[in-house]
Amino acid sequence: MTTKRTKQLVRHMPWLDSAASIMQKVFAPALGEHSPQSVKDALVGTWLGHPLHPMVVQLPIGFWTSATLLDLLHLDEAADLLIGAGVITSGGAMITGAAQWMDATNDETPRRLGALHGAVNSLGIGLFIASLAARRAGNRRRGVVLSMMGMGAVSAGGLLGGELAYELGLGVNRNAFDAQISKWSDTLPAHDLVTGKPRRVDVGGTSILLVRHDDGIHAVGAICPHLGAPLDEGEFDGETVICPWHGSTFCLTDGSLLHGPATSPLPLYETRVKAGTIQIRVRKTTEKQ
């Protein structure tokens, strides 16, 4: 499935906007704009250094895949146990996935595709719950059929999730492919950078944010690694910058991530003034990165 085909698919499914609206209302208390910062950071994976969802989703998928194999081997009790374990852990996979998706709902394609991904996976979870109920009621044949259908649904959901991650870039560090500025490179005249007035400059196709403080000139990446917001348009508070789109907070002195929903720090650069011009190069070692 290509991005072009995906866009064509979701464009012809406007009802997904209604589904997305329902999902947003359900998850807003924990993941919305006014939700506790610590909760959002925990569910997105800020503390981990990369998105939490890809790791958590392995649990239900692994349990259900193993249960399918055990059903084929007629190891009934073990299969039933793993079906139940998958149902229990699917809640964590659902809420961590929603944590990533909520911030991308302003754009039609990720909003609709994420809603479809959630709907298909919810169908899969429902089928596994029905399978578990049938098994416990003594109707094993029906239970096995329902779990096979559930496996098909979550596999389709995984395909859609891959499209969100690898084609639309949800969870991808937007600075990962910036050119490495390994040699001292000119930016702008030193007198053009006024204390407390950040400037965004382009160096070899890479956007750099320059800020002068009393302790010197700091240089970090100018693009939020979360979804690519221009940090020069953000809110500056002392030695921190807050992303103008989703509120991720970074330290300007070392690029470290203070609050999500971003999960990666900013690229950090050394600075010097030579012949009246501010020069930068990537900082090879840092204390916090």
Please check whether residues 148 and 191 belong to one and the same domain.
Answer: no
Where among 111, 133, 167 does a domain terminate?
A: 167
Phi/psi for 86 (5° steps) reads: -65, -40
The DSSP code for 116 is: H
Domain assignment of residue 227, yes or no: yes
Q: What is the DSSP string of 177-191?
A: TPPP--S-EEEEEGG
Q: What pTM does this model have? A: 0.87
**Structure token pair of residue 272:** 């010097």
Which structural domain range is residue 126 located in?
Answer: 3-167
- pLDDT tens, residue order, the chain (289 aa): 456 777 777 888 999 999 999 999 999 998 988 889 999 999 999 999 999 999 999 999 999 999 999 999 999 999 999 999 999 999 999 999 999 999 999 898 999 999 999 999 999 999 999 999 999 999 999 999 999 999 999 999 999 999 999 888 999 999 998 888 999 999 999 999 999 899 999 998 999 999 999 889 999 999 999 999 999 999 999 899 999 999 999 999 999 999 999 999 999 999 999 999 999 999 875 444 4
Please check whether residues 223 and 138 belong to one and the same domain.
Answer: no
Which H/E stretch holds residue 135?
helix 108-136
Residue 8 confidence (pLDDT):
78
Residue 285 confidence (pLDDT):
54
Separation of alpha carbons 267 and 256, rounded Å: 9
Please check whether residues 153 and 10 belong to one and the same domain.
Answer: yes
